[in-house]
Structure 1
C-alpha cells in the first residue's frame, strides 16, 4: 500500500505531522549499499555508522538484550512490551510495537530506532523513514538460532560485537542444556498443550504453528495441541474437543479482559477436555514466555516443570 506516496488532497493531520518532522534536528546518515530507505535489517558493517546515543527500542526482547549487553545508558524510550528488567519501565513509553505512533517516537528526538521484525504499522514506519531516522530491524524466529541472531544483531547495531559474542556464548550454552533436558522425554509421553491467547466473548483464540507459543511449547518438550494451522485462529467447539489438550497455557498478564482458571475451564468445549478434568492451567508472564530473549532457557525449564512436574 503506497499510502504516503499516493497523489491526493493533503489532509490536516499530514500537515501537522510534517511540521513535527521538520522541527526535529537533522541527523545525517550516509548511504548504505543495497539498502532501501532507512528501514533495513542490521548488519555489523553498516551499524557502526549509526549514532545510537539516543536510542528507542521497540520489542521487549530487543530492550532486554540491550540491558543484558550493559548498554542501557543509550536508551531514551521503549515500547509497551518492554517490561523487563524493571528499570525499563522508567523509560518513556512510545506505545505498542504493532501500533506505533510516529509522532510519539519522533517527539523524543532519537538518533536511531531499533525494532524487532514485525513492528508497525507500515504507515508509521514510512513516516519514520521519511524523517531520516535510522531504523534498524532485528530478525525474529522462534527457536534457538533466532535468539542468538537477535543478540548478534543488537550487538552490531550498538557497535559492541565482543560483548554480544560473550552473551551469545552464555545464552547458547544455557539454552542447549535446557533444550537437551526437555528433549529426553519420550515422544509417547509428551503432553498436548493448548495456548489460549484470548477467551473473550466465549471465543477461544489459540496458537497454531509458526508462533512464539508454538516454538516455546516444542522447546519445552511438549506438543502443540492445535499445530495444524499457521498463526492464531479462533477455534470451533469441535476443534477444541478434538485437540484433547492435557494442559491449557495462558499469559498471566492477560490484557484488559483477564479470565480466571475456573471461568476458562467452564467454557463449554474446554470443559470436556483432559485439561479441565485435571484443572491443568499454566499461567506465565507474557514476555518471559514468548519473548525469545536472553531468559528463554529459564522459560524452557519453568514450562517443562509446570507441565510435567519436577
Structure 2
C-alpha cells in the first residue's frame, strides 16, 4: 500500500511541474542563442541570460565571458554556414549584419531569427533593455539595470559640470574596420561616438572626406584634432602609440600626433549605449582632460 501511495505522489509531482511552473519563465526554456550584435550580447549577459549564448560575432567582446564563446564571423562579414552549424534555437541581431545574403540563407535553413533595435542613444538603449527583459522573461532585472543606468548617466553629467572645463579639445575617433581591413574615421557622423565625446566635454573634429570611410591622410591632417581616440583593435594592431602616429595616414601631421595625444579606448565602450555608458563617459572624460601620454587601461 505504501509503495502505491509513493508512486502516486511521484506521478502527481511529475505532472504538476509543467502545470504549475514559474509563470515568468513559462515558454522561455533554456535556449541555444547565437547573438550577432555586440550591444545585444552585453545586454543579455547583464540580464543573466549569457549562459544561453553559444556563439557571437567577433565584435562581441564584452563581458570577458563573451570572448570565450565560439565566433561566427565579424557582424558585417558573417558566415551563414558557421551560424547554422551551431544548431541554435534562436539567432538575434539588430539589422546591421552582413553580407546581404547571410540573413536569407539562415532563414531558408529554418533558423528562428529575431531582430531587436539599436542602442544609439541612452533612451533607445533603455527601451531595448526593457524589450529584451520582456522577451526573455527578465523584466525585473531589466528595470533594475535601467535604474542603475539613469544614476550613472546623471553622475557623468555632474562630473563634467564639476570639472569646470575651460578649453574644449577637438577629438577624432579612428577605428580599424575588420570587415574591410582598413582604418577609417568613425567620428563626425552624428552617431554614438560623437554623443560620447560631447558628453565627456570634447568637441568632434570636422572630417571632410566622402562617407568618412577609408582614411584620407590629407583630410586627417587638415582636420588637425587635438586628441585622437584609437579603438582597441586598431591601436593594438600597430603595437604602440609611436607606430600608430607614424604608420596611420595623416596622424603624424596633427596636433594629436605631434603632442602624442593618442588614447586607446575599447570599441564596445564607444559605439553603443548600454548599462555601463555613464562609467564609460566618465573614463573618457578623464582621458580627454588629463595630461598628455595618459592612456586607457
Say what the alpha-carbon RMSD is for the aligned residues.
Answer: 3.2
TM-score for both structures, normalised by structure 1: 0.73
Q: Which digits, 9 at most, give the CA deviation of each residue in 1:30-82, with x for residues without a partner?
A: xxxxxxxxxxxxxxxxxx97766221112222111111111222222222222
Gaps of 5+ in 1: 1-47
Q: 1:248: how far off?
A: 0.9
Asked if 2 retains the 8 angstrom alpha-carbon contact of 1:52 and 1:111, the reply is no
Gaps of 5+ in 2: 1-25, 292-297
Report the Cα distance in structure 1 between the residues aligned to 2:210 and 2:280, rounded to whole angstroms: 23
Residues 1-310 of structure 1: matches in 2 within 5 Å?
53-182=31-160, 189-198=167-176, 205-226=185-206, 232-254=212-234, 257-258=237-238, 260-266=240-246, 269-309=250-290
Report the Cα distance in structure 1 between the residues aligned to 2:250 and 2:61, rounded to whole angstroms: 34
Q: Which digits, 9 at most, give the CA deviation of each residue in 1:165-202, with x for residues without a partner?
A: 12111112212321343366678622110111249999
Q: Secondary structure of 1:149's match?
A: helix
- CA distance 1:71–1:305, change in 2 (3 Å): same
Greater shift in the superposed pair: 217-226 or 297-306: 217-226
Report the Cα distance in structure 1 between the residues aligned to 2:257 and 2:81, rounded to whole angstroms: 46
Q: Secondary structure of 1:122's match?
A: coil
Report the Cα distance in structure 2 between the residues aligned to 1:283 and 1:250, rounded to whole angstroms: 5
Report the Cα distance in structure 2 between the residues aligned to 1:220 and 1:295, rounded to whole angstroms: 14
Report the Cα distance in structure 1 between the residues aligned to 2:134 and 2:188, rounded to whole angstroms: 33
The total of aligned residue pairs comes to 264
Q: Which digits, 9 at most, give the CA deviation of each residue in 1:224-262, with x for residues without a partner?
A: 102667863345444333323110110122288425322
Report the Cα distance in structure 2 between the residues aligned to 1:223 and 1:106, rounded to whole angstroms: 44
Larger Rg, first or second structure (1 or 2):
2
Asked if 1 retains the 8 angstrom alpha-carbon contact of 2:175 and 2:183, the reply is no
Q: Which digits, 9 at most, give the CA deviation of each residue in 1:126-179, with x for residues without a partner?
A: 122223323222222422113212312322331222221121111122123213
